[in-house]
Amino acid sequence: MYSNMLVNCSNCRTPLQLPPGAGSIRCALCQAVTPVPDPRALPPQPYAVPGPSPSFHAPPGPPPSFHGRKKAVIVGISYRYSRHELKGCINDAKCMKYLLINKFKFPEPSIIMLTEEEDPRGPKFPSKHNIRMAMYWLAQGCQPGDSLVFHYSGHGSQQRNYSGDEADGYDETICPFDFETQGMIVDDEINAALVRPLTHGVRLHALIDACHSGTVLDLPYLCRMNSSGHYAWEDHRPRSGVWKGSSGGEVICFSGCDDHQTSADTSALSKITSTGAMTFCFIQAIERGHGATYGSILNAMRTAIKNVGGSGGGGGDVVTSLLSMLLTGGSGLSVGGLRQEPQLTACEMFDVYSKPFSL
């Protein structure tokens, strides 16, 4: 029943990755709870093995279909009724789900949504525990050909790093709904849950719309792009030599801003409702035909955000179909001059203007 910390769901048989020390685990798909008699007897997680270039075998399972599976976790947190309240994050989550289903053909049952519109006592409320479980679910049991997406819209922060592995001395974090009592989720944990387990042939795209999110997945390389669209890759590998990339899988992250910047929750991008600036500009780039390569997407996002009182890439155009339907009802787009620069990080360096983008 157990393999590399994997437990088959007692109901639907989906492989579930068991967090350390857990005595049971709930399946995010069918909600069944599977008890584990003695988790201490299980072998350690494969990505806990140190070393600069780990090599792990994919968990056993049926062979993938020709095109592989598509799975996604979407998190939108508004922190309602608190002093931290945001207005656009649940809108972001709904827009991203719509995009994945209608533009990239993700099956709706393979998308897990965590928002405050869910039961606060249920597994899809965006608590720290539930976000952790969703990340484990997304990465577990993946096979070559699989395409994964992790989207987060909410607060991001930083906390002091004492291991010496962060160039600026700070770990980046995301903030669950209950972060004030349960704590934040640190970039090291996100990397261990979503990045390091992924084997050759598996692809993960992360979209993080939060403050201080530039390197929130702790990926080894950051694409530093200037206002003219010229770029160079920066090496962000830890000085300790610990490998923070995947186990052969492809991981690419679009984030809302640099580590030292804040990311806007604003109505400047839509005349009717608030959205996260990064999520809105990512979807707009795809919808307006700028989604051919990673470089064209990043450049379109940065251009839209930095335009002050300009046309926002369309003048008096109506907003494209997806955003018009979900946000503005066909209103014109007006982009304010937001002080943030979306970032691109990855496990490996590549030519951003020639590598095709696909989910």
Give the per-residue SS3 of 269-319: CCCCCCEEHHHHHHHHHHHCCCCCEHHHHHHHHHHHHHCCCCCCCCCCCEC
DSSP string computed for 137-177: HHHTT--TT-EEEEEEES-EEEEE--SS--TTSEEEEE--T
Task: List the domain boundaries for the chain.
Answer: 1-43, 69-346
Confidence of residue 168 (pLDDT cuts 50, 70, 90): low
Per-residue pLDDT tens over the stretch 265-313:
444 444 334 557 889 999 999 999 999 999 999 999 988 887 743 433 3
Please report where in the chains the tokens 């994997």 appear, as a residue.
6
Q: Out of 35-44, 164-173, 319-328, 341-350, pick the least confident.
A: 319-328
Provide the 8-state DSSP code for 356.
B
DSSP string computed for 112-126: EEEETTS-TTSTTS-
What is residue 251's three-state secondary structure?
strand
Confidence of residue 124 (pLDDT cuts 50, 70, 90): very high
Confidence of residue 166 (pLDDT cuts 50, 70, 90): low
Confidence of residue 259 (pLDDT cuts 50, 70, 90): low
Residue 318 confidence (pLDDT) above 70: no
**Strand 70-76, strand 111-115: pairing:** parallel
Consecutive H or E run containing 100: helix 89-102
Architecture of domain 69-346: 3-Layer(aba) Sandwich (3.40)
Of 206, 214, 228, nearest in space to 306 by CA: 228
Can you tell me the mean pLDDT for 5-12? 70
User: Could you tell me if residue 241 is left (phi over 0), alpha (psi between -120 and 50 degrees) or otherwise beta?
Assistant: left
Residue 20 confidence (pLDDT) above 80: no
Compute the distance between CA of residue 348 and CA of residue 219 in angstroms, rounded to an integer.
9
Percent of the chain having pLDDT more than 90? 48
151 is catalytic: no
155 is catalytic: yes
Compute the distance between CA of residue 47 and CA of residue 197 in angstroms, rounded to an integer.
6
Can you tell me the mean pLDDT for 21-30? 69
Confidence of residue 158 (pLDDT cuts 50, 70, 90): confident
Query: Helices 89-102 and 277-287: crossing angle, nearest 10°?
Result: 20
Give the pTM. 0.74
The answer to whether the beta carbons of residues 16 and 136 sit under 8 Å apart is: yes
Question: Strand order in 156-160's β-sheet?
Answer: 156-160, 170-174, 185-186
- Could you tell me the two tokens for 137? 């679910």
Confidence of residue 262 (pLDDT cuts 50, 70, 90): low
Report pLDDT for 198: 96
Can you tell me the mean pLDDT for 236-243? 84
Report pLDDT for 169: 67
The answer to whether the beta carbons of residues 340 and 264 sit under 8 Å apart is: yes
Per-residue pLDDT tens over the stretch 66-110:
468 999 999 999 998 888 888 889 999 999 999 999 999 999 999
Confidence of residue 62 (pLDDT cuts 50, 70, 90): very low
Report pLDDT for 37: 64
Can you tell me the mean pLDDT for 140-166? 85
Can you tell me the mean pLDDT for 139-158? 93
* CA-based end-to-end distance of the chain: 32
Please report where in the chains the tokens 């001059």 appear, as a residue.
337
Average pLDDT across the chain, whole number: 77
Active-site residue, selected from the candidate residues 89, 211, 223, 281: 211
Report the amino acid identity of residue 123: P
Active-site residue, selected from the candidate residues 27, 142, 151, 155: 155
